[in-house]
Each structure stands twice: as C-alpha cells, then as structure tokens.
Structure 1
C-alpha cells in the first residue's frame, strides 16, 4: 500500500519505513500536510531534516555525521588531494558539500568530483575510471548504493586501479552492507578502508544476533553466511521506539479531522489532519531507552551517535583497525579515553596491492610520462637559465644555475620524477612573454611546472604555488663608487661631521668662558688687558686637547703638568709655562675635570676614526638611498621584463626615469656613463642579478640596500600540487648540503674572490654619539657658574639693597667682579663693601 492509502483508508497514526532518501522526500511531504509522523531508519540524506519538515523523524545517522571521520583519516596520513566518487541521486550528492568542507578543514583539497548517473553502464563506469587514472590524485572517497558500488569496484579491479599507490575509502552505507555483497566482489575490494557506525557489544545484542541469524537461515536455506547490519539494528530499535511512544500516549483510536474544500479536491487534499499526530510526534522525540544499537535518543529529530569504526577489507571480510569520535579523534581502541594522533595507534593496514606501505596519495598520471617544465627564454643573465640549439642534432639544450639546482633537487627525491624542459618561446625562437606570462602558463595548465629565475611574489601566489626559495632574497641597488678618501687634502676633517665640529667648538668657547668667570677675580693668569683675557679664554679651553692626552705622554711630563694645576710651587717649572697658570677655584677645577674627560673621549674617537680612514681602503657609494635618486632626478636602470619596474614606481620613481637593460654589460655601460651622459646613476634589481654584476665589476660598483624584501627564486607548480611539499623538502636538503656549494662554484666560482673583497667604509662620527657627554659638560659648567653667581650676589647684597638705580648697581657689580681678590679672605663674613654712588653723595 502507498502512504496515501495508509493515511486515507487505514488512518495510520505514524508511518515507519521509507527506505531511500528519494522515497522519503515524497512521504515526508504528505506527513507534513497530514501531521502524521514519518519515521525512517534508512533515509540518510542531509537534505531531509526535522528542521525543514517537522514530522520527519530519522532513527538512523545523517550521512553528514561521518564526513569528519573521513577527513580525520585523510589528515592522519597526510594526503593533500582527494576525489569523491558518488552517484547523481539525493543519497549520493547531498552529502558531498559536507564532505568537501571537512576535507578543506584539514588543509586538503578536492581537485575533481567524479559523478556517476543513476544507472550507469559498465562502459560509463570504465570511462570515468580511465579519466581518474590520468590524474595525479590517488585518494578516492566512494559514496554510492551497494548495488552500484559492487559493479564499480569490480570494474576498478579490472582496469588496474586496485593496485599499489591507490587509496579507497567507502562511506557508512556501503561498509555496513558488505556482508550482503558477493564474495567475488569482496575479493576485488582488498585494501579498501571503510567507515561504519560503532555499536557497543552487549549480551542482549549477542543473543538477538544468534536468534536472528538462526531464523534468517531457516527462511533462506540457499544463503550460507549472513550478518545483521547496523541498519537492521536501527530498524529494530525504531519499532520499539514507536511502540513505547504509542503506549506512553495511551491512544488507540485514530482521529482525523476531515477538510471540506469542495467536490473538486484531490485525494491528497481530502486526507485530513491527524489529531493525535502532534502528541505522538512529541512522544517519539522524547523516548529514550537502551536499544540493540546502543542508547536510543533523538536530538533535532534524528538519532545521535557520533562514534565510528574504521574497517579494512581483507580476505573475505573486514577487520577493525580503529575508531573515531569528535571528542578524542582517531584511536586504536574502542574505549576512546585518550586523544591520539600517531599512526602507530591504528591497527596494521593492508593497502590495495597487498602492501603495508602507506600510499603517498598521488602518482604521475599514466597518460603523461614526463612532467612538462617550462623555462624562460632570455638573452641576458644566461648564468641562471640558458636555452640554445644543438648545431648538429637541432635538439634544445637548457643549462644554467637554476637548471642544475632543479636537477639536484629531483635527484635527491625518494622517487623518480620524469620531466622535460620546454622553452617559453615563439616559433621564431624569440621569447613568448615576460615572467608573469610564463607563470600564467602553469595556471592555464599549459605547463606542469616552471623552473628558472622566477621570483616568489604575493600576486603570483594567488594563481600558482611556489616551492621554498633556493636563492638569496631581496631587491637591492648597485651604484658607482667614489675615489679613495686618502687622496683628499682635507681628510683630517672627515672623522667628525659638521654639526659635531660646530658643537665641539662652541663648547670649547663656552667652557673657557666659564673658567674665566670663575678664575678672573683670584687668578692673575686670567687678568690683564681685555684682548689678553679674550685670548686666554680661547687659549685655555683649546689647550685642554693637550691636557686630556697627558696620560699618553711620558710619566714625568704628566706628573709635572698635573702639578701645574694643583700646586703653587711650580712657577719656575718650564712645563708649567705650557699650562701657563694653575687653576685656583674649586668650581673651576670641577668644571675642568668634567671637560677634560669629554675632550679625552672626543680626541680618542677622532684619532681612531682618522686612523681607520688613512689605513683602510675606502669605497664610498655615490648614492646611499632611493630618496637621493628622486631628489636629484637621476635615471635608474632595471632588468627588462622584471617586476622591478612596477616596484620602482611604487617607491616613487617616475616611469620616465626608468631605463630597461638586458644583461650585465648593458648595466655596466649605463652606470659608467651616468645620468648626465645618457646612462643611469643606479641599477635596481634582485640580489642574485646584482651579485653577478658585482662579481665582474667589483672595483667599480657597490651594493646599497636592500631597498625591498622579496622571497627569492622558487619553482612554480599548479595550485595545490602535491609535488610542492616534496620539492620544498628536497630544496632544503640540497641547499643545506655540499651540493649547493658545488653548483655555486661551477657557475660563479671564478668571480667569488673578486666579490668577496668587499668594501669597508668608515662613517664620520656624528653628534648623536656624544650628546650625553656634551650634556654632562654643559650641566656641570652651568651649575658651577650659577652657584658662583649666587655667592657673588650674596656677598654684594649691600649693592643690591642700596637706593641706587639699576644701571648704577650693575656698574658697581661689574667693578666688584673686576677687582682682584685675596683668595685667603674670599668668602669671609667680615669683608664688607661700601659703594656710594654719586647721586647718594649729592644727597
């Protein structure tokens, strides 16, 4: 009977059993209209759910619950590409979006989806399998009905896809019904992994299995062996759940509310609405008990069970190798008490081809024997990549630094990787485009890879994948060098910058002035004519250049010079004539100690810097920064076709100031001429190119920078290519070993000694390096001066408090300051000054 007959004529209170998802779609729609609960233990499509149709109750697992378990296996073994194979039905295609999302969550990708029609012929299946064989991916997830799955694996075995290197994972629906598949088909599925809902063992379940198996074999004597599937357990528990719900509701008589919409209504519109339906639905949803399949409880209208077994098909059946749960992930045992991730925790797996070696998940496609590797065709910088024709055989020969690195990398890999180089050129032998266009050929699938001096750039990585770099990274600038500074007559001024010279001279005068103020009243050496006093200020402060280095003079000279400052008994000492006079004031001694220390540091630094400039060869750059080029309006060179053209514009260099060149010789000629004579003032490009330029002309140019960071040269592969991680690991092995040094020596060894000469520059000392010293000296002098001034004002406070005018007070103060004082009486409270101004006398 149909569902319509059951509701209309029998007036059933619930319907249990739409077995397929396509059947359930129709029945659920009727149940929704009549409010009759529809219970299914086998409609697993995620497109049908309680949230969309509130009278649909799923007492089996939603297909989407197993996708994370599948993704965990993929991540577990490190497979980076997976192809799902499914049938074009509600059951087959509805789960795929969930599967793809789960695969992507573990950093894998789905490069292709293989779809089979509802009832494909053997030839259609075989044609799809041949298509899969031409691809690199060797990991497949099969999601289809048992009848189609049996035919599919039988044909896959025939075409040789159940051999070494292949990985097959089947979903829950196919794994659960393996016992119903013919043993000959099982024989063609050896090594397949399967996902299956986990049902905990119990005495009740074991007794039921024995009774069911005995009854089934009595009714079907032609069948030798049979196992009860998990789906059968769900069906049994579903009947119990419905019976318990009806019993709890205590409703026996069906009640339907008829709809009277006229005489022309259809049978569907006359079915009416079940008055017991809402109560029965709620009763089923709240039913909980321990069933044969485990704990039976519903959430959001479907059965909740999140643990799966991982099976391996071996021999005539399947073997349990592990478990998965969302809480603990993969585990080798069913207690799931700890989260594990090591492969040793799973049981031993026999893979297709009867091997225990874990497949790497991809192989070179059988339809393409060699990897098609594109290489750039260029005229300049052939040390990196050089393409030429053999004169005798007309064969294409590709050589160069990048080519040798690639060959070394491939040779170091654990498996063979056949390849052939294809120059990126036109029919006439000219280059077919720039490097961006060459990289695009990988994106357009014209090349399988690109090898050469191709820079790793962010915008290129949006379309292709790069390996790790195998060269130095960065963009730098090469400029001509200046002449040797030792030939400069004014080189003695070079150790200090202009601002440091001016600051030092200012402090010499400032310190001399402070000493003069402190010593003028008590020291005869600081008295006399005005011109003599001014000369003394300059002479005394600048003479500290000699005092500061007294520790470098002979010890006797140092001692006697020290005595000139401290003692009074050295008037006739000839050395004291050099120091002229001793310093008497304690304030002046304090200032001089600090200042001599500052001068000692300055002179020592000056001596060291000048020595470096006179003894070390100087190769100074003519330009040190990009801003100099922009300010002067100079022309800048770059490698023709390079991305540096756009980079230079982004740095603020006008496009009219950029000139392209093709090789090292053209760079040299342009730099030799200079901007004013039709050349350039600097060349900007990647460091590997600049090293070649310097290797040949190391005495004429030098590198300044880097001015911009890049990732260096890398090999190009299609997006998501499984070759990228293997090639990158091989690059690390090559670059960290002796092989890379040998390649460098082969291509650049003759110029290495020239390049390693390098250039040593000794920068002038700047004011920033001595700010602290000048601050200490300035503060010390200021403190001594201020304290002296305060004491002087205090001693002559009678002038300040007099009734004279301000100008008269200042004049009186000046007179008192200029008077020669007796050091023994200085500061005595008994000394009093009397000054009566003319105006006061008149009064």
Structure 2
C-alpha cells in the first residue's frame, strides 16, 4: 500500500512544481523564437509534440534560469515572424525546399535559422553563416549505402527519388560514390511530389520493362514513399528477386507510416538511419529506441540548444531591438522585405549556438561546421509491422552485425541475414549465369543431374576458372548456374545462348564461349582465359621409308640445283686460276673439262688429287671446303632422321587441296566454326557435316566420311591427346585467329572490367596450370607431333649465307687474277704483235691465246735458281761486263732447256700417258 501513496505524492509534487514554474515564468525574460512547421504533415505534428515536450522539460529542470523561450509556432509566415514578432531565432523550416527562402531572410535580418529536418546537401552552413543545422547532412549516409550495396555484391543500382530540392540534392553524391566503387547506375526514376498513384505505377512498370536491375535505392519523404511502395507491390516489384534500400529521410519516419502500408508492401525493405545510443533520458520518456522518431529527437535537442544559448546570451536579449533600415517609404504589409530590420543580438546568438555542447536525446550535441556529424548508422530490416536491426556502420566505412563484437572481417559476417521481399532468406539479384550443356568435350563444361534430377552439378575447366576468378574479386558475387539445355543436350547454338543475355533471361554466360566480332555486338566479353585459333585435323600417312627416292628428300629441288651450280662454278674458277701455272690443269680440251668437273665434285668427299699452287685458288678452296663440309653434314643428319624417326605426313596438305577435290569437312555442332567455313573459307554448306563428340570425330575421319575436321585449337588438342590419336591424326593448315574463350556479360556491364582484372590476377599467380592439370590433365597434350610436322626437306634459304660467301670469294679471286693477267700481258702484246694494236678484239683474241700458254715466269715452272756471281779470272780479276752478260745468256738458255726437258718428262710420265705433249714456246729474244 505504500507504493500507491508514494506515487500519488510524486504526482502532486510534479503538479505543484509545474504550477510554480508557470507562475515564475511570468517573471522571466521572454525571448521570442519562431517555429515553422508543416502541421498538416505527420512529421510536422510529431515535431510539434517533441518541441512542446522539450520546452516543458527544460524549464522544469532549470527553473532558476532568468530567460524563457516564447515559442511562436507557425506554418509558413516567416516574414511576419521577423517583421512583426521580431523573433530572435527561427527553428525550422521543416522542408529543404522552404529552407532556401527562410535562410535568405535570416541573412537579411541577421537572425539564426536553426533547422532539424532540412537535410539536403544543397544547403551548406559553411556558406550561409546564419544557417545552423541540428541534424545530419544527407551526404553522410552515401558511403554507408555504397558499402551495403558492395556487401551484397550488387553491381547495378537504380535510384528512385522525388523531384524536389531534398530529392535532387543527394543524387550527385550517390552517383559519384557509385562510380568510384564501379557500381553502375543504368537508369534513374524521378517522381513528382504531387504524382498520382496511377502515374507512379506507370513509371514503375516502365522501369521494370526497361531494365534487368532489381536493386533500388529510395530517397524521398514519407508521404510520397508510402504511395511508392504501395504501387511497387501492385507492380510485382516487392516479390522475390528484388531489393529495396531506403535512405535516412524515409527511415526516420517509418513509424508514422500507416501499418497497412508497411504490411505487406514494405516487407523485406532495408533501411538506414542514425544510430541512437541508449540513455537514461530516453528511458525516462517511456519509449524504446525503436519506437522513437529521429526528427522528433533532433527537434527536442534543438529546443534545448536554443534555450541554453539564450540563457548564455548577454542580459537584455529579451528587450533587444531590430535596427530599422533607412528607407524614405514605409509599408505596413508583411511581405515588404525592404522594411526588415537587423537583430542586434543575431551574431552573438549564432556564436553561442555553434559552441553549445551537451548530451541530448539523439546523442552528443556538438556542431561541426554548423551541423551535426553522425557517429554511426544502424541498418534495419522491415519484417511485418516491426523492424529488426541487422547491422551497423561507422565513419570508418565498416559494416558489422552488432555493437558487441564488430571486429570480424569475414564478408558473410558484415550483416545479419535479412528477410528479403517475397519472404525469403535467399539473397535477391543473384547473378543468373547460363551454362551450355555439352555432349562432348566435357572436360571444358560438364553438367550432371543428381539421382532426383532436381539440382544439376557443374564442373569442368571453364567452371573452375570462373570460381578461381571469384576468389580474387574484391567483392562477393552471389550467383546461380542455370543449364542451357534439356535431356543432356543444348536447346540451341552458342549464339542462341548469348542472346539469352540480351533477352534478360541470363545475366552472364560462363562456358567455352569463343570471343568473335559478331558476338561482341550484343554482349561484352571479358579478357580471354584460353588460347585462340581455329585449325583443321586430318588423317596421317606413314610411308616415308617406302619411298624409292628417299635419298633425294633431305634437300629440296632448288637446293640440289643451287648446290650443283656451285660445284661447277667453283671448279671452273679453280681451273682458270690454275691453268697457266699448274700442269694438273693443262692438257687436251676434253681432259681439262673433265678436270673441272672431277676436281669440284671430288671435294664433296675430299678425294681430289690435283694440287693447287695459286694463292687465289687456295683461298677459294678454303672457303669451298667449309661449305662442302656443312652441306654433307646437313644431308647426313636429315637423311638419318628420315630413315630412323617415324615421319607423319598429312593426308591433305591444305584447305585448297580439300576444296579442289570437293571433299566433305566436319565442324563442331552449334559453334561459330560453321560461319567461318561458309563466309571466310567459302565452303559450300552442303559439304559441311556437324559433329558433337570426340567419338564422332574419330569415326568420320577414319571411315573417310570427311577429309578434315575444323575446330578450335583447345578441342583439337584434347581430341589428339585421347586414345593415341597423335599417331592417327594431325593438326595442319593455317590458324584462323580468334580471341579464345571468355565470359559474356550484358553490354556496358561493370562486371566485365572487374572479372577481366581478376583473370589477369589468376594468370599471374599461375593458378591456370593447376586448373588445367586438374580438369584436363595431359589429355590435351600431343608430345612429339610438333617435330613430325616440320618441313621434310632443307631449302636453299637455309644455306643462302654460305652460297653468298663462297660465290663472293670465287668472284673476287677471279676478278683479281684477271686484272693481274691483263695488266701483265697488255704491254707485251703491243711490243710482240704490233699488228694487233689497231683492233681491240684482236687484242682480246691474242690475250685468250696467251692465256692458254704456260706462264714460264711462274714459280712452279722455275728451278731453284743458282746463285749467280760476277765472273772472275782464275787470277781473281773480275771479268768485263760483256763477259758477264755472256754468262747470263748462257744460264737462261740452260734453264729453258731444262724446263723443256721437264715438260717432256711429265708428258710422257705414266700419269699423263693419255695427254698429248705440248711444245714449249720460247721467247723470240
């Protein structure tokens, strides 16, 4: 019974204190403060209630203050409040669109304009000194919104906002933040504040038709927001697969929205609003944190801040007057802006307000650059008629699920799992990835259904590469693989599969999809993750050893011809250089011709017996022997390889050979190779046969149904590496370039650049080789076939340098010898045969005749000269010059006679039995 009595006593005390305070307030200085609210709106009515509560609470707790606020609440009579009421400050206005006009009036009258709900970033307290914002700037929430979008891996977002200063003010900040994070904004939806419900529904249906994006960020006031979500529910956009994020402006007024609107039209919506820390003051108000309205708390703290500033102001603030302007004409109308005065206390009051600090209901009240700064945001999820906090965000740009333990860095622990639209826990906007269903070459893509045929399993090289790429992405990428096929077969071609992206049935295609120009016109590809090119595979024939003329195969016909000409030319040059000075190169004409051929070809086995005595001949022969050595060694090596190594020869050499004979060719079914064959290689479509598996390739080639199979290089390598196909088939012909396999996305998708960078990272880390070994292994290798596909015969181009060197050496030696011969014979020709001096051709003929003669002055035709000394008498007396000359003539005659005898001995020797003797010619002198 004591407790009820105590409660009654407390109530009586409270009533008495209130009465006393009311009596005392009449004795206090009344400071007039205007309050501008839209009392027809729910936010305005809420704010009025909190403002009245704050006014009462403040002076109940501070009854000793000498000042007291006199609040003049108006709808929109700002000029009247300044001109007629001469208020010292204005709290409000409620809307950002109205704030511009009120702020301008405040600057003219030099009174502080304090707003707790005009949150548009277009209104800057730093640019307008008399404007103070006791709430947060909307731009503070932008980073938190972007982090939420990134946390769920969404790469496309559509903003929906109202066409007012409040709605338009945040969009530039959102766009810049999304662009910096590589999040695409494909469309924007602007809704007029006075739009009818039918107009909103029409815009939403149009948006649903135009874009595949199902992630929306809503930035608008409560009145328009309630109509938007009602129409979104009618449009089927509050179902599974959609996600909605509402900004702070709509989140802070969720509680006044009609419960009929919140259930079911707002089920699964995510919201963001400033975090309200728990405090005794809020508990004393009898409400929970979730039931409080942020604008109401800001309004409450604003009244307290103004009351504290007025109390700190100099004495006499209540009686402070407005300085009237010096105008010749006065007007009694309330809209005459020229007659507004200036407050004497405006500057001082602004300065005091900016430095006011206290612990309010919304948290710590401390203005920075004329406005509050949020310490944290809370993220909530609408479930039924209630809300569930799923996480928080701080200025450090980090998300965490709760305030107790927020140090986890795992992506799946950033936020608690929400309930999404459609009453599902499955995250909306998973990437719908189409996967081709292959019959063959399943090492690249394999789709298998489990026993119950409910959920397929995906594996293969392309899938493994994609999963490795996702691991190095900077953000999560929720996805689901969807098979493009039925009963284990494709239901269309690869082009049809890619067109599913343009029809918005798939968001991407992951598989062995080749990047070609025609496809890039309607989808975007990432960087390739495989090698590129199209070639053909044909049967081989192994009959090299049975060739009757295999010994001619090491050299090509042009190399054989060039080598033979080089032999003949070198023999001819050596003969010219040795003919006048070497008896081995003299004799009858047929003997000399035989010597030319015999000498040069005998050098092939280094069996030449003729000795060379001319230094120019020796120089030519040194170079030529080096050339012969290289030619013989190359021939031996090539012939040995042909006889000992298995040589695989293609059944057909090139594409033209197949076309000329009108053979059939095969290609992989549903691939782009058919277009390459018909459009680029000009094959008749009737000559093309499609195949799907490696077994069909083998059967068609082995039984001669087709002459060749055209396919991409990765498939050909995989085919050749199976069941010893390397010894049966070979890849030949030119490679028709393509860009390899890539992942496909819609045109302009921001994921293309992200995935491409991730592919480069995987390549640099060397993970591709591990993936290939895991999925394909050694099946795609055909070791040794590359050697058998090399050229059979050596060409003249391989030895062009050698032939140039030996030719240059021979020509230079021959030229130098010819010049020396003409120079030595020309004067003698004029002295010995004066009759030829008148005819140039006669001299040439004589030169040719002299060339056929021996050069008796050459070293080989000279005996070792005896030393000739001046003749002396037995008495030691030197003989006369005439006597000496006589001895010299005698010596020369004896030497000539000896040379003749030597020639005759050589001619009649057994080695020269078949050569007729040539009479020596002596000088006429």
Q: Could you tell me the TM-score, scaled by structure 1's length?
A: 0.61
Deviations 1:808-838 (A, max 9, x none): 111122122221113645999x99xxxxxxx
Q: Give the corresponding residue for 2:31.
A: none
Cα 1:530/1:485, change in 2 over 3 Å: same
Q: Give the corresponding residue for 1:819.
A: 853
Q: Give the corresponding residue for 1:587.
A: 616
Deviations 1:775-802 (A, max 9, x none): 2212222221222122122212326877
2:822 corresponds to 1:793: yes
Give the C-alpha shift of residue 698 in structure 1.
3.7
Cα 1:465/1:396, change in 2 over 3 Å: farther
2:598 corresponds to 1:539: yes
Q: For 1:256 and 1:493, locate their aligned partners in 2 and report how far apart those are by CA, in whole Å.
A: 122
Give the C-alpha shift of residue 74 in structure 1.
7.4
Alignment of 1:5-24 (within 5 A): 20-24=95-99
2:485 corresponds to 1:424: yes
Given candidates 308, 311, 316, the residue that maps to 2:376 is 311
Q: For 1:356 and 1:162, locate their aligned partners in 2 and report how far apart those are by CA, in whole Å.
A: 30
Q: Give the corresponding residue for 1:502.
A: 561
Q: Contact between 1:39 and 1:56, CA under 8 Å: does it hold in 2?
A: no
Equivalent position SS for 1:100 = helix
Q: Give the corresponding residue for 2:218.
A: 115
Equivalent position SS for 1:579 = coil
Q: For 1:546 and 1:667, locate their aligned partners in 2 and report how far apart those are by CA, in whole Å.
A: 51
Equivalent position SS for 1:702 = strand
Q: For 2:804 and 2:329, locate their aligned partners in 1 and report how far apart those are by CA, in whole Å.
A: 101
Given candidates 317, 325, 338, the residue that maps to 1:253 is 325
Q: For 1:820 and 1:806, locate their aligned partners in 2 and report how far apart those are by CA, in whole Å.
A: 23
Equivalent position SS for 1:481 = strand
Q: For 1:181 and 1:122, locate their aligned partners in 2 and report how far apart those are by CA, in whole Å.
A: 31
Given candidates 97, 104, 113, the residue that maps to 2:179 is 104
Give the C-alpha shift of residue 105 in structure 1.
2.7
Alignment of 1:483-494 (within 5 A): 483-494=542-553
Cα 1:57/1:811, change in 2 over 3 Å: farther
Query: 5+ unaligned residues in a row in structure 2: which ranges?
Result: 1-75, 186-212, 295-300, 314-321, 357-367, 380-387, 863-887, 893-925
Q: For 1:590 and 1:57, locate their aligned partners in 2 and report how far apart those are by CA, in whole Å.
A: 105
Given candidates 130, 139, 144, the residue that maps to 2:249 is 144
Give the C-alpha shift of residue 478 in structure 1.
1.0
2:710 corresponds to 1:683: yes
Equivalent position SS for 1:486 = coil
Q: Give the corresponding residue for 1:637.
A: 666
Q: Could you tell me the TM-score, scaled by structure 2's length?
A: 0.56
Q: Contact between 1:382 and 1:400, CA under 8 Å: does it hold in 2?
A: no
Q: Contact between 1:83 and 1:114, CA under 8 Å: does it hold in 2?
A: yes
Give the C-alpha shift of residue 485 in structure 1.
1.5
Give the C-alpha shift of residue 767 in structure 1.
2.5
Cα 1:123/1:510, change in 2 over 3 Å: same
Alignment of 1:321-336 (within 5 A): 322=395
Q: Give the corresponding residue for 1:695.
A: 722
Bigger shift: residues 102-111 or 399-408: 399-408
2:575 corresponds to 1:516: yes
Q: For 2:690 and 2:795, locate their aligned partners in 1 and report how far apart those are by CA, in whole Å.
A: 39
Q: Contact between 1:126 and 1:156, CA under 8 Å: does it hold in 2?
A: yes
Cα 1:135/1:373, change in 2 over 3 Å: same
Given candidates 460, 479, 482, the residue that maps to 1:402 is 460
Q: Contact between 1:387 and 1:396, CA under 8 Å: does it hold in 2?
A: no
Give the C-alpha shift of residue 769 in structure 1.
2.3
Q: Give the corresponding residue for 1:337.
A: none
Q: Contact between 2:515 and 2:525, CA under 8 Å: does it hold in 1?
A: yes
2:666 corresponds to 1:601: no
Give the C-alpha shift of residue 590 in structure 1.
0.7
2:466 corresponds to 1:438: no
Q: For 2:478 and 2:730, locate their aligned partners in 1 and report how far apart those are by CA, in whole Å.
A: 41
2:539 corresponds to 1:480: yes
Deviations 1:740-788 (A, max 9, x none): 656547xxx8x789x5574632422223322222222122222212221
Cα 1:679/1:30, change in 2 over 3 Å: farther
Alignment of 1:204-283 (within 5 A): 215-216=307-308, 253=325
Q: For 2:478 and 2:151, locate their aligned partners in 1 and report how far apart those are by CA, in whole Å.
A: 22
Q: Give the corresponding residue for 1:612.
A: 641
Q: Give the corresponding residue for 1:780.
A: 809
Q: For 1:86 and 1:682, locate their aligned partners in 2 and report how far apart those are by CA, in whole Å.
A: 55
Equivalent position SS for 2:688 = strand
Given candidates 834, 842, 850, the residue that maps to 1:808 is 842
Q: For 1:471 and 1:692, locate their aligned partners in 2 and report how far apart those are by CA, in whole Å.
A: 16
Q: Contact between 1:256 and 1:272, CA under 8 Å: does it hold in 2?
A: no
Q: Contact between 1:162 and 1:352, CA under 8 Å: does it hold in 2?
A: no
Q: For 2:111 and 2:303, locate their aligned partners in 1 and report how far apart those are by CA, in whole Å.
A: 31
Give the C-alpha shift of residue 681 in structure 1.
3.9
Give the C-alpha shift of residue 599 in structure 1.
1.4
Q: For 1:126 and 1:817, locate their aligned partners in 2 and report how far apart those are by CA, in whole Å.
A: 118
Q: For 1:381 and 1:618, locate their aligned partners in 2 and report how far apart those are by CA, in whole Å.
A: 29
Give the C-alpha shift of residue 596 in structure 1.
0.8
Equivalent position SS for 2:797 = helix
Q: Give the corresponding residue for 2:913.
A: none
Equivalent position SS for 1:144 = helix
Bigger shift: residues 774-783 or 37-46: 37-46
Bigger shift: residues 429-438 or 480-489: 429-438
Cα 1:656/1:147, change in 2 over 3 Å: closer
The structure whose RCO (Cα within 8 Å, separation 6+) is larger is 1
Q: For 2:459 and 2:143, locate their aligned partners in 1 and report how far apart those are by CA, in whole Å.
A: 46
Equivalent position SS for 2:604 = helix
Alignment of 1:822-841 (within 5 A): 822=856, 824=858
Deviations 1:135-184 (A, max 9, x none): 4879x5724267426779x999999x999xx99765xxx57999999786
Cα 1:625/1:64, change in 2 over 3 Å: farther
Q: Give the corresponding residue for 1:660.
A: 689
Q: Contact between 1:424 and 1:438, CA under 8 Å: does it hold in 2?
A: no
Q: Contact between 2:392 and 2:403, CA under 8 Å: does it hold in 1?
A: no
Give the C-alpha shift of residue 252 in structure 1.
6.8
Q: For 1:605 and 1:67, locate their aligned partners in 2 and report how far apart those are by CA, in whole Å.
A: 79
Give the C-alpha shift of residue 520 in structure 1.
1.3
Equivalent position SS for 2:671 = coil
Size of the aligned set, in residue pairs, is 682
Give the C-alpha shift of residue 806 in structure 1.
1.4
Q: For 1:215 and 1:706, locate their aligned partners in 2 and report how far apart those are by CA, in whole Å.
A: 85
Bigger shift: residues 662-671 or 372-381: 372-381
Cα 1:66/1:396, change in 2 over 3 Å: closer
Cα 1:806/1:432, change in 2 over 3 Å: same
Q: For 2:393 and 2:483, locate their aligned partners in 1 and report how far apart those are by CA, in whole Å.
A: 49
Larger Rg: 2
Bigger shift: residues 635-644 or 437-446: 437-446
Deviations 1:380-428 (A, max 9, x none): 65676677999xx884796886399669969x989998968655249xx
Bigger shift: residues 585-594 or 362-371: 362-371
Q: For 1:783 and 1:187, locate their aligned partners in 2 and report how far apart those are by CA, in whole Å.
A: 105
Give the C-alpha shift of residue 587 in structure 1.
0.7
Cα 1:37/1:532, change in 2 over 3 Å: farther
Q: Contact between 1:92 and 1:144, CA under 8 Å: does it hold in 2?
A: no
